[in-house]
Amino acid sequence: MDLGIDGDAALVTAGTAGLGLASAEALARAGCDVAVCGRDEERLADAERRLESAGDGEVLGVSADITEGEEIEGFVGDAVRSFGGLDHVVTSAGGPPSGSFLEMDDEDWYRAYDLLVMSVVRTVRAAHPTLADDGGGTVVCITSRSVREVIDELVLSNAVRRGVIGLMKTLSREFAPAVRANAVLPGAHETGRIEELVEDAVERGDAETYEAGLADWADGIPLERVGDPTELGETVAWLSSERSSYVSGVAVPVDGGSTRSV
Ligand SMILES: NC(=O)c1ccc[n+]([C@@H]2O[C@H](COP(=O)([O-])OP(=O)(O)OC[C@H]3O[C@@H](n4cnc5c(N)ncnc54)[C@H](OP(=O)(O)O)[C@@H]3O)[C@@H](O)[C@H]2O)c1
């Protein structure tokens, strides 16, 4: 399918691995110039190589920590200068630590807020002038199915991510009609983040082995498997594209059917 965004410019925060990288690759395949950021230099260089082979557009990798406001502004500014503007912003992040309510102190809550909510606020604020320039701008926030149904041992994700949904819905009204804003709610996709959560479950004794822990994640998913990150990335590219031109303000689960609420 022609997504109608060939030649557009896109930026993906925390886009050097996992769901962010899968989204950046899908946008590159659709013909976009793509900028990604992350902290680890080696991961950044690998991501640049993968993006260069995914499409014909320009690729920009920037070393930036999305919990630092100035680094986000620097990243957005570099992308705008390199590409001459931005049409699409995708926000991803690292995952907050797993654990229950009584295990979290104030610092944990504030760190999770900076990582998951303020990173989106700061990225969108920096990108807005160029996104709104000539219409057709999009924002897609990668969050989690935890905004619909809380997940045990993930209190920070359950509580803090809901702020992103309120923000996205507000942007879809305040920025219309020049910019559309949407979110995707991943279920379980096989990335480093899931590996980390499975390892935590093994450490806590909730699963005997890594394989058993991964099987637990697939348990209860109607499509009977954990998702491939590409399946999330393709949805992000579609929401960024002309093919979804009348879709704004929605939060789309990409979870193999596991969310029970309507
Ligand atoms: N995978 C899933 O099934 C799933 C399900 C629901 C929700 N999610 C959520 O979706 C988001 C992405 O998950 P993922 O599975 O793609 O994670 P991942 O595979 O661990 O990748 C995380 C990416 O974010 C970057 N990153 C982390 N912290 C950063 C920071 N402070 N500044 C800049 N970049 C940072 C990492 O690079 P560096 O470490 O080099 O910075 C890496 O590129 C997370 O918020 C996760 O909780 C994932």
Convert the pLDDT of each residue in 58-68 to its tens digit.
Answer: 999 999 999 99
93 Cβ inside 6 Å of ligand 1 = yes
Ligand 1, atom 47, lies closest to the CA of: 95
Contact 138, 125 (CB under 8 A): no
Alpha-carbon gap, residue 68 to 197, rounded angstroms:
25
| CATH number of the domain within which 80 lies | 3.40.50.720
Residue with tokens 């879709």: 247
Strand partners, 12: 36, 90
Share of the chain above pLDDT 70, in %: 100
- Main-chain phi, psi angles of 4, to 5 degrees: 75, 20
* Same domain membership, residue 204 and residue 116: no
Ligand 1, atom 14, lies closest to the CA of: 18
Count of domains in the chain?
2
**How many angstroms separate the alpha carbon of residue 64 from the centre of ligand 1?**
14
The residue segments making up the domain with residue 216 are 190-226
| 31-42 per-position pLDDT tens digit | 999 999 999 999
CA 40 to ligand 1: nearest atom: 40
* Same domain membership, residue 145 and residue 211: no
* Same domain membership, residue 73 and residue 143: yes
Give, for ligand 1, the residue of 12, 13, 16, 19 to mutate: max count of ligand atoms closer than 8 Å to Cβ: 19
Mean per-residue pLDDT of the chain: 96
Could you tell me the pTM of the whole model?
Answer: 0.95
Share of the chain above pLDDT 90, in %: 90
Q: Which one has a higher pLDDT value, 197 or 54?
A: 54
Is the residue at 79 inside a domain? Answer: yes
Please, which pLDDT band fits residue 54 given cuts at 50, 70 and 90? very high
Is the residue at 202 inside a domain? Answer: yes
